[in-house]
Structure 1
């Protein structure tokens, strides 16, 4: 089976889920999808993702997640806004760390060929995203948010 090599970075001061748990989720998802390669994940601030959003998609303002496909074996890059993730987590009723993980998984699925450009493909992608996260959490229970100070 193909291996997924993951590099995870965070901007200074960003609270993120435990890196080993986030990495395990993405490895699990790639294995379930029969994919391998290399991917980088950057957990950043709204201002940072807003710059990327405008530069590469021509849309001003922040977004929750962006993915940038690469050339095999490099799958690409994923940027997740911790600020937007925290706001969305409050809206849907789960932790900021789980929302960051959910968004990183969304970015990975984009790099693996999923899209959400129309309602049908969006529903398919979100269903797969939910299925993978729930399966991972059943198989590997644990917390998405570390206590403050760690």
Structure 2
């Protein structure tokens, strides 16, 4: 089920907008967690349609709008001896959930002129980076998040289409 014993990635696909390659998503999640120097992780990754993600967004965050990704950090323990300021996941043991909208990925992929699978992968990467400790609430944090997303995508030789926030 998991590529590395230290990472448990559970994938639930509850949509029919795009075909999900669970092994690719699992490998991508493990790659990101490794590159973030996360000690251990138990991640639940769920792929839904827009109405389901919107309902979860309303229920848990009181946001009444469609969104591409939700992430929930359920538990995080940090080994201070392994912390590295530039690498937010370093030394962490995390448990969390990442919820992505395949329907949104299909729509945005057309807008950004790349595949829905890559758009969905971007949502997964973004959600996992949130669990590692990255944020996007300020301009500087958003730039750091975008830089880190591209560094992860460099592993697959993919350029993320530019987004104006």
Measured in 1, the distance between the counterparts of 2:32 and 2:67 equals 23
Pairing 1:132–2:152 present: yes
Q: Which residue of 2 aligns with 1:57?
A: 61
Shift of 1:17: 3.4
Shift of 1:48: 0.2
State the aligned residue count.
138
Q: Which residue of 2 aligns with 1:10?
A: 13
- Normalising by structure 2, report the TM-score: 0.78
Structure (1/2) with the larger helix percentage: 1
Measured in 1, the distance between the counterparts of 2:17 and 2:129 equals 23
- Where in structure 2 are the equivalents of 1:53-92 lying within 5 Å? 53-72=57-76, 73-92=93-112
Unmatched runs of 5 consecutive residues or more in structure 1: 142-150
- Normalising by structure 1, report the TM-score: 0.85
CA RMSD in angstroms, aligned pairs only = 1.8
Shift of 1:62: 1.3
Unmatched runs of 5 consecutive residues or more in structure 2: 77-92, 159-165
Runs of at least 4 residues off by over 6 Å: none
Please say if residues 39 and 76 of structure 1, whose CA atoms lie closer than 8 Å, have aligned partners that are also in contact: yes
After superposition, the C-alpha distances for 1:41-74 in whole angstroms (9 at most, x for unaligned) are 0000000000011111211121000001111455
Measured in 1, the distance between the counterparts of 2:21 and 2:153 equals 15
